[in-house]
Homo-oligomer: A and B are copies of this chain.
């Protein structure tokens, strides 16, 4: 094992410094209209740079029609899948566990009652966040009021999205810091989402742990228990996950996180965020916020390969190589 890692940390620090000077900015740039496929591909996707796009959803009837009363009338009787947690944290670290939400199937009308505080019997935080293309599945009745893809993005990527997801929920629902192997276009229909972003180039500055997979399960008295998931259910033993809250980071324990480039971006109704593949993100929302996101499969090209190299260097730096 390498005895003195300082030269490698120095090389990494030069890299993040240079990345900031060359192509990162302290806030997400805005553009006033949907880009052309070429501009989107060249100016944002190729360089893995986020951008906030205004006025790209104006033609969606959803922008005007999706009120609570309209949705109740349209899909109130539909059965939908809702993630339920005691505190709003789905897919997050609790002690030595990585805890996934309880999934409940209920009528959309019941979910709306809970969200609007009209149901006093339910404990917990409810969030529609099932990322299995639920918009084209469970919510397909609403599809004609939005779109199944973003045409200029589909042309730019040269392929249709792998998944289109519908999101709606409690302001207490928080998505913990993580990254996805997808190019992500996140469209806010009503309310707002606040993204806390960190570029992939900061990977070694982000503390990671490994956790036993578990899930919430409410018992007969309505209290939440944490149940371990058997190995044969997930197919893997331990889950690596970022063990830091970027809003209240413990810099005494993780001083390196203080060097990460943390960018906050609030996305309002009618706006779309291009969140590039492998960017870390933590997400909050206003109460009842409705959003639709499009996941396009990323290219496993030179950028991905470099990121994997950085990941392996990071393991060396943190001396966690097996």
* Chain A residues close to B by CB (< 8 Å): 1-5, 7-8, 11-12, 14-15, 18-19, 22-23, 37-39, 41-43, 45-49, 155-158, 200-201, 299-310, 312-313, 315-316, 321
Contacts and interface: CB of A to CB of B under 8 A. Distances in A.
A304 B8 contact: no
A19 B312 contact: no
Nearest to A157: B42
Contact of A156 (B11, B38, B305, B312): B38
B15 A8 contact: no
A275 to B, nearest CB: 15
Given A3-B3, A4-B1, A301-B22, A15 B316 contact: no
Total identical chains? 2
B305 A18 contact: yes
Contact of A3 (B2, B37, B158, B309): B2
A16 to B, nearest CB: 9
A22 B304 contact: yes
Given A11-B316, A38-B41, A42-B158, 4 more contacts: A2-B4, A14-B308, A38-B38, A45-B46
Contact of A15 (B39, B156, B300, B305): B305
Contact of A23 (B42, B200, B301, B316): B301
Given A4-B1, A46-B45, A155 B299 contact: no
Contacts of A308: 14-15, 18
Contact of A7 (B2, B19, B46): B2
A246 B18 CA distance: 31
B304 A306 contact: no
A21 B315 CA distance: 22
10 contacts: A1-B4, A2-B5, A2-B8, A3-B3, A14-B312, A41-B41, A42-B156, A200-B302, A201-B302, A306-B306
